[in-house]
Amino acid sequence: MKIILAGYMGSGKSTIGKILSNFVRIPFYDLDEIIEKTEKKSIKSIFNDKGEIYFRKLESQIFNQFISENDNFILALGGGTPCYANNHLILQNDDINSFYLKANVNTLTERLILEKENRPLISNFNKEELNDYIRKHLFDRNHYYLQSKNIITIDNKSIEEIKNEILAILF
């Protein structure tokens, strides 16, 4: 079974992926972590040293390679992965169960303001600036996220409720 979790940063892709993995006994992977291991550099360093265009090409290459070489996995994508290099088309593959973990701007702002020190792209924003940044990104990215076969709205839901919604669709 191939399961892909897409969504904006802070939507819970890694958290939900790990919980699903324990429940269905399928290994969980995080695309950003795969990229960091491959390059032996952090995502931030790759961006700083080689730029976004290099990163997006690398991300797409590693994503496509991973999908073609693995049969049983849960994969959390980076927030921008579906938005570049036609990666969103993979979300529609017949053999893939893709899920968009959809959150509203306020949910994402509340979550990300608490962890902005760990996220270089947003570390200098105050709450209002972060809210505006997320609003713009969601507007730009929503079309790509919506290519997922399944949409799970996560606002005001527990991890258990989200997990159960996904399991109900899978089984």
Point out the annotated binding site for ATP: 10-15, 119
**Which amino acids are annotated as binding site, given as ranges?**
10-15, 32, 56, 79, 119, 141
What is the DSSP track for 46-110? HHHHHHHHHHHHHHHHHHHHHHHH-SSEEEEPPTTGGGSTTGGGGGG-TTEEEEEEE--HHHHHH
Question: How many Cα atoms are found within 13 Å in the side-chain-facing hemisphere of 26?
Answer: 17
**Which amino acids are annotated as binding site for substrate, given as ranges?**
32, 56, 79, 141
**Which amino acids are annotated as binding site for Mg(2+), given as ranges?**
14
Burial bucket for residue 149 (CB in 10 Å: 0-12, 13-18, 19+): middle
3-class SS of residue 34? helix
